[in-house]
Chains A and B, each alone.
Chain A
Amino acid sequence: MTRNTTRALTTAVLLLLSGSVLAQQLPQLKPDEVIRYRKAGYAFMNWNMTKLKAMLDGSVPFNKDQALAAAASINSTVNSGMGALYTPGSDKDSGNEKTRLKSEFFTQPDKVKEVAGAYRIAGTKLAAAAATGDPSQIKPAFDEMGKACKGCHEAFRKD
């Protein structure tokens, strides 16, 4: 399982590096689908962060495999090309989907690049730290990941 995760991770990273995830043609989505997938991706990472937190603060026993799975899930979500879910106009509610995306997302590309860059680095470091199986290494990487999430929320998510 560990090896599979590592392999999946490596594939994701390679795909990303070759630009094939980001550059490839993606299926057309409706505006409410864009919002739905976006929120689902973030909510999924929230779940995995919560699992890591519980293991790190001792409220549930630390489990190497669980920690690795959570960190790998976060990192692969980070690298899944979610940037494609920020289609212009997706800062407006659509269908049943409410969004909290700020319209500044589309007018401040440099800031987007900055927060997204920090977030990618944090994801990679978290996965690497989890691979060691050592909570004392995972803790600081987990904290950095949390800061990276917050960095983007502060800038681009409405209250």
Chain B
Amino acid sequence: MTASRIRLWDLPLRLFHWSLVATVLGAISTGLIGGGWMVWHGRQGLAVVGLLAFRLVWGFVGSTHARFAAFFPTPGKIAAYLRGQWQGVGHNPLGALSVFALLGLLSVQVASGLLANDDIAFNGPLYPLIDKALSDAATGWHRLVVNALYLLLALHVAAIAFHARIKRQNLVRPMITGWHEGPAEQESRGGGLPLFVCALIVALAVTYAASGMWIPAPAPLAPAPTMDW
């Protein structure tokens, strides 16, 4: 096995990652500030919905190392990795656990956010579909789950720092440039433009569904008999 330069992360995956970083950090900030920023919070959250939908599809039709099946962490793989016997490129089995946990937790975060309300003047776009009590419950989840997200993000960045400092592996560069050292037969393949367009269409459709724009305005209540007091 001669090490050479290979294509590891395809361009859509890299764009996905750094857009996710920007929108998630944005959503955390605007969510914490509140007030008029909640409108932006909702928009950033919707962008995260689209990114997650894209990633889900790309996990099946993307190039080699972007596919969920390529890095799905089985107990066997994790044990081998911990014994130092893992030989692959791409997400290592332990890192893969964190990838799935991050994607899963972000999904819970957006799902609850879409139904949430801030009790002041902002409602998630799917709020009209449910009643206030359920929305309050979703809001509680949203505020709870974000703490797990903080932990996982801290771990994510710490793990990358650990690889850089202790193991002398630069994981960030491949996530920016796409290139990595590796045996030529591990070169990423597949995930061409047509598949990218398909994934993009799915992402846009899911974002549209989440935006609630399709929900018809509620039939106006019968007006109160006197409106002038």
Contact = CB atoms under 8 A, between A and B. Distances in A.
A50 B121 contact: yes
B119 A153 contact: yes
B33 A147 contact: yes
Contact of B143 (A42, A143, A144, A159): A159
Contact of B34 (A57, A139, A146): A146
Interface string B22-41: 00000000000111111100
Interface of B: 33-39, 118-122, 140, 143-144
A52 interface: yes
A159 B144 contact: yes
B98 to A, nearest CB: 26
A143 B118 contact: no
Interface string A21-55: 00000000000000000000010001001101100
A150 B119 CA distance: 9
Nearest to B39: A57
Contact of B35 (A42, A57, A143): A143
Most buried by A among B34, B118, B120: B120
A142 interface: yes
A147 B36 CA distance: 8
A16 interface: no
Nearest to B34: A150
Contacts of B140: 159
Nearest to B217: A59
Contact of B36 (A42, A46, A50, A139): A139
Given A57-B39, A159-B140, A159-B144, A49 B121 contact: yes
A150 B118 contact: yes
Contacts of B38: 146
Interface residues of A, number: 19
Given A57-B39, A147-B36, 15 more contacts: A46-B119, A49-B120, A49-B121, A52-B121, A53-B121, A53-B122, A142-B121, A143-B35, A143-B36, A144-B35, A146-B38, A146-B118, A146-B120, A147-B35, A159-B143
Contacts of A142: 36, 121
B34 A147 contact: yes
B50 to A, nearest CB: 22
The 10 closest A-B pairs by CB, nearest first: A143-B36, A147-B35, A150-B34, A146-B35, A53-B121, A49-B121, A143-B35, A149-B120, A146-B120, A159-B143
A50 B119 CA distance: 9
A158 to B, nearest CB: 9
Nearest to A158: B140
B113 to A, nearest CB: 14
